[in-house]
Structure 1
Amino acid sequence: MTVSAGPTGLAHMERFDLLPRLRHGVRVQYEGSIDKKGFNADWDWWLYKERDEWVLFDVDGPGCVYNFVQHRYPDSEEPTFRFYFDGEKEPRFEIRHSEFGSKAPFLAPLADAYLGPEDGGRGPIRVVRSFVPMPYERSCRITSDIRLKAAAKGDGGWGHVVYHAYAELEAAGEPPLRTFTGEEDYGRLLEMWRGVGSDPKPVQGGEQTAERRHLKLAPGDSVTVFEQSGAGSVSAIEACPSEAGSGWLSDIWVRMAWDGHERPDVYCPAGVFFANELGLNPVGVLSHGRRQNGSGYCYFPMPYWRSAVVELQNRGDADIMFDAWDTTFLPGEDVRYPERETGYFRTSDYYGATASPGRDSMIGKIEGTGHLVAGHVTAFTRRPGVISCEGDVRVHIDGNWTPQVESDGSESWVCYGWGFPTPPEQNPSSAYDGQPDNPWSMVRLCAGDFYPFRQELAFGIESGEFNNQYIRHSGILFYYGVDRPGMVLTDELDIGDPASEGIHEYRATGDLGTYGLESAYEDGTNRFLKNTGREIEGRSAFSVSVRPDNAGVRLRRRSDQISGRQRANVYVDGQRVTERSWYFADRNPYRRWLEDEFDIPASYTSGKSDLRIELEYVQDGETRSWNEFHYWVFSIL
């Protein structure tokens, strides 16, 4: 029986075995307290004020909130967060800062709080976080009853939301999306999250285990620990070193190849494979890690269809011995994991400890189609006592110059705070190891909020507040993917260019004229771009070319985000796209360039080679026009 990929909410998070299934019509997005000037003043978090509430998050269209985080001093005024869904006037749910972890359904370990130390007078600080999936059919808005700011001690404004946006409310073959009520039964998911160190996947019959006992690898040795022909899926790997030391974590490398691939799908030190690159203290998350007895576990499902080979290599200068190395697998997985709908379990190229002075360290770049499910980053400075965690994580997806996922400091990416002063720490979705200042090593599991990509994904991290420190980073990305692209660029329109406007039959009513802008993106670089665009207070329309065999179309717009709450209705060949409006609530008056996207479902585009796109400006908040500088048109495959 073919199992649905279950792309949304509670059903998806309960089915850890479905992580390899490729998801279509899903984008990951981030909203949070990022310093708009590109430095380290990340403390203010709000989009706009409405009556007596400060709006932190505001999106249109079907989606699901997967991660909510807010940092606050315990002695500061306590906020109440309110969650509004589908245009409701009254909040569906309210929770105070102090209630995370104890108020259903925000119960530990799906939601909890981390209290940092005094840390030289900077702290203590409480970080509340939730991984409770909160889907919505039409829209979501999150507010605070007080302004979140941190310009002075005693305040606290840092925070973020990571969420998925869906192209359609009901995708073919998937269970229908239903809006969060707060009454969902999270018992099974809570039980799974309480079992870190044991396999989170449903119990399956027919599993077999390839056991290797008393395994010895001399320096330079390479040993095959698992080899199979035909279809199957590795479901668990357990490693029990003979000695309690951590040298094997760096000296042993794990190499995996599925279906005869010449380039290994997985190739990395055992330390990152088991979420313990530093190895100072055993830490672990739901998917992979190291137990207190020193044994390692990895429960990511790893399907294959023709063959599988797992090898260990000793790249150190001493013998390494294991009491056991067990590989559990389930043969015949071609039915549960249809090949055309499933990604291979893979890692990016291991990024060895390297400094990138003045620019982001690129931990990994992935090409093809798939979704990132975990990341691991380690950092070293020249000497102890240097706070080295302030660098923002930035994830660029499918060539978009605007990061789709960010963080206000590396510690916030793993939902902690205050620069890792209390290692080791762990929760089922994130963990870190290290010294109170540095080195440090962090791992983040993205089981709910995985990061889909259709062409490429680039994961970078700053060195210091604005790339102003010397830091050697190392790390790796875990993902499911295939080499083929999931979308192709089929057209683009350069607004303000007479030839491009003519070719695309561009027309505008309520055109306020062209204007030029030279600015930067929120990508951490000083790359300035000059472009000409238009302001529209009525409608703009243009014709574009797409592939007739498209499975939907993605529009990407370069715009000026000097003012927030830009909104437009989208029409395709005269038919309004009813799933959502094109809406972006945030603003940045300093780094003004934005690339945002709009997915058009296949029901509007399938079988067509040309589309007439029309955008109707809708006044919202402070905006007085819709601005457009460039459009890219991608045919989804």
Structure 2
Amino acid sequence: MATGPWDCRTHWSFVPMGFRQRCTISTSHPRPFDHVIAERFRDSSRAQPWRADQPLERLIGYFNQRGQDPKGWKDMREAEGRITLAAGQGSEFFARRGRGALGVLCLRLSPRDPQTLRQLRLQAYWDGERHPGIDAPIGHFFAAGARWQDIPALLVGVEGEWGYCYFPMPYWREASLWLVNSSTGPVQCDWQIAWRSRPYPREHAGHFRAWFHREEPTTLGRDYLFLHTVGRGQMVGVVQTMLGGHWCEGDERFYIDGGRSPAFYGTGTEDYYLAACWPNRDFHSPFHGTVGDIVAEASAAGAGPRGFYNFRACYYRFHLDAPIRYESELHAAIEHGGTNDTRSSYTSLVYYYQQDRRGLIQSDALSMGSATKESAHELSAPAATHYPLTQYFEGDDDDVPVAFTVLSTLAPVRCRLDIDPRNLGVRLRRVFDQKEARQWAEVWIDGEKAGDWYDADGNPYKRWAESDFELPPRLTKGRRRLHVEFRPRTGHPAWTLAELAAYSHVEDGPSTAALRPTLTPHEP
């Protein structure tokens, strides 16, 4: 995957590997770089245990049908046309009223030069929205953020003169698509669209959105933002371009549902895009790839050693194998340079689905050290010790001190937490001192075991961490409070608690429509 003076390879697997109780992944490599994405369910029956003979034909087919619509919809209607836009002109080119979903969007541009790719924008308005749900430079939308070339990704890409998008785009009242030409010359665009009138169930689907962002230059000391959004949904992909500086070591850091610890914490930008040993050669898979080869471009231009720093790189990653789901908010960002220390030019487009309402609300929280709060929550931990601690969370704010009082115990600890009786399950969130790794406790709810809460990681330098534990509806639905007990596992470090919160999963959470991400100007 590399084009430098080395030969580096990455190995990846998109095979689903379900488990009901626990999963252990190990390696004998002395210096491994690895990424693992795991999703935990409130209902364990959703996890089908891995089998060596499980069918993989559908997954293998994705590698053999790139550039083709993989959905297999049979009842689509089609339309096509041509639109010509003068400089500065915008125009609607497709509209539908009623319920349905777009399934195919293909565009052919003339010209396809860098200015057009940056300054011709695709906009989509769903169900009477005031602001577009999609507002994207046309190049980024088709994963051609730096150059137009064949990009054989599964749901978004380029084949010859045509860019294609096969993401389903549901609507329940109306859909409107626009092209806006901010370039200095005319643009001609041929379009092909296919849709069907069969509606998605409104309660289980969201609008398809794409949010563009750019920073020129990047902000020293702060992560580059992919997306901050409030609501309920899932992030399904990102296209990113980078120019200037040794940016390859920046780690992705994604925070889910207001968490203070990153739920996703990577090992470098090239690793996030499942490549290795930057700079990377042109390569593509259904789910990730590098668009172009900046080393080859620099060499052809006679740019000399390290001249590739002055050529814009482009990557894409689609989380179709493991969508990044969130119930109340998502903050997705990535470092620039090894420690946010480069002044580079970054652009990105994030694809996501969202309902503008929260599906997770905080119902109660207990901070240790306050006798009044501990009494109100019926805290019982007679064998515990308490100590004050000022420390740091990992992530973008790892230089911001945070003070808590920590409860530490090898014996059972009990408390009461209020919850919303409308809940469809409850998430417990624990702030703890991760100086000692492999803290393990059984979780009991009103006398019934709910499972084991185990945190493998430890960090003696950034000691604060948050961890989540999902409770199934059978233990929580219809109840207004829970009696929670933690029974630390013998032979493991003390169980530590600085804060314990209960979040209720709800179907009809408060609206977040007024908190939509602010649009970023496409050009300085």
| TM-score in terms of structure 2 length | 0.90
Asked if residue 454 in structure 1 is aligned to residue 324 in structure 2, the reply is no
Asked if residue 508 in structure 1 is aligned to residue 381 in structure 2, the reply is yes
In structure 2, the residue matched to 1:276 is 144
Give how far 1:147 is off: 4.2
Asked if residue 326 in structure 1 is aligned to residue 192 in structure 2, the reply is yes
Give how far 1:231 is off: 0.4
Asked if residue 470 in structure 1 is aligned to residue 343 in structure 2, the reply is yes
1:215-254 equivalent positions in 2, closer than 5 A: 215-243=83-111, 245-254=113-122
Match of 1:524 among 374, 378, 396: 396
Instruction: Report the secondary structure of 1:297's partner residue.
Output: strand
The aligned length equals 490
Give how far 1:373 is off: 0.5
Residues 352 and 269 of structure 1, relative CA distance in 2, 3 Å threshold: farther
In structure 2, the residue matched to 1:96 is none
- Quote the Cα distance in structure 2 between the aligned partners of 1:275 and 1:347: 12
Instruction: Report the secondary structure of 2:321's partner residue.
Output: coil
In structure 1, the residue matched to 2:74 is 205
Corresponding letter in the other structure for 2:183: G
- 1:413-453 deviations in whole A, cap 9, x for unaligned? 1100112332x221111112252344212111001210111
2:432 and 2:499 in contact (8 A); partners too? yes
Residues 340 and 132 of structure 1, relative CA distance in 2, 3 Å threshold: same
In structure 2, the residue matched to 1:306 is 173
1:268 and 1:350 in contact (8 A); partners too? no
The two structures, once aligned, show a CA RMSD in angstroms of 1.6
- 1:575-604 deviations in whole A, cap 9, x for unaligned? 111xx3111111111111110001111111
Give how far 1:349 is off: 4.8
In structure 2, the residue matched to 1:494 is 367
Instruction: Report the secondary structure of 1:141's partner residue.
Output: coil
- Quote the Cα distance in structure 1 between the aligned partners of 2:70 and 2:336: 35
- 1:365-406 deviations in whole A, cap 9, x for unaligned? 11100111011222122xxxx432111111111111111112
1:171-182 equivalent positions in 2, closer than 5 A: 176-182=46-52
1:618-637 equivalent positions in 2, closer than 5 A: 618-620=489-491, 623-637=492-506
- Quote the Cα distance in structure 1 between the aligned partners of 2:177 and 2:215: 22
Corresponding letter in the other structure for 2:472: P
Instruction: Report the secondary structure of 2:136's partner residue.
Output: strand
1:348 and 1:365 in contact (8 A); partners too? no
In structure 1, the residue matched to 2:483 is 612
1:425 and 1:432 in contact (8 A); partners too? yes
Corresponding letter in the other structure for 1:318: G
1:128-527 equivalent positions in 2, closer than 5 A: 128-144=11-27, 146-149=28-31, 157-170=32-45, 176-202=46-72, 204-213=73-82, 215-243=83-111, 245-279=113-147, 281-291=149-159, 293-322=160-189, 324-331=190-197, 333-334=198-199, 337-351=200-214, 353-381=216-244, 386-422=245-281, 424-434=282-292, 435-436=294-295, 437-438=308-309, 439-511=312-384, 513-525=385-397, 526-527=399-400
- Quote the Cα distance in structure 2 between the aligned partners of 1:218 and 1:442: 31
- Quote the Cα distance in structure 1 between the aligned partners of 2:433 and 2:215: 38
Asked if residue 566 in structure 1 is aligned to residue 439 in structure 2, the reply is yes
Corresponding letter in the other structure for 2:38: Y
Corresponding letter in the other structure for 1:585: A
Asked if residue 583 in structure 1 is aligned to residue 418 in structure 2, the reply is no
Instruction: Report the secondary structure of 1:534's partner residue.
Output: strand
Instruction: Report the secondary structure of 2:383's partner residue.
Output: strand
Corresponding letter in the other structure for 2:273: V
- Quote the Cα distance in structure 2 between the aligned partners of 1:299 and 1:409: 29
- 1:110-150 deviations in whole A, cap 9, x for unaligned? xxxx4x34x24xx2222111111111122211122x2431x
- Quote the Cα distance in structure 2 between the aligned partners of 1:484 and 1:495: 31
Instruction: Report the secondary structure of 1:164's partner residue.
Output: coil
| TM-score in terms of structure 1 length | 0.75
1:352 and 1:475 in contact (8 A); partners too? no
- Quote the Cα distance in structure 2 between the aligned partners of 1:201 and 1:320: 31
1:275 and 1:289 in contact (8 A); partners too? yes
Give how far 1:310 is off: 0.6
- Quote the Cα distance in structure 1 between the aligned partners of 2:265 and 2:155: 23
Unmatched runs of 5 consecutive residues or more in structure 1: 1-113, 150-156, 171-175
Give how far 1:509 is off: 4.1
1:520 and 1:593 in contact (8 A); partners too? yes
- Quote the Cα distance in structure 2 between the aligned partners of 1:281 and 1:191: 23
Give how far 1:353 is off: 4.1
- Quote the Cα distance in structure 2 between the aligned partners of 1:626 and 1:420: 44
1:389 and 1:464 in contact (8 A); partners too? yes
Unmatched runs of 5 consecutive residues or more in structure 2: 296-307, 507-524
In structure 2, the residue matched to 1:103 is none
Which protein is richer in strand relative to its size?
1
Give how far 1:242 is off: 3.5
- Quote the Cα distance in structure 1 between the aligned partners of 2:403 and 2:412: 24
1:192 and 1:200 in contact (8 A); partners too? yes
Instruction: Report the secondary structure of 2:337's partner residue.
Output: coil
2:250 and 2:335 in contact (8 A); partners too? yes
- Quote the Cα distance in structure 1 between the aligned partners of 2:192 and 2:279: 33
Residues 470 and 353 of structure 1, relative CA distance in 2, 3 Å threshold: closer
Corresponding letter in the other structure for 2:454: Y
- Quote the Cα distance in structure 2 between the aligned partners of 1:280 and 1:392: 27
Instruction: Report the secondary structure of 1:179's partner residue.
Output: coil
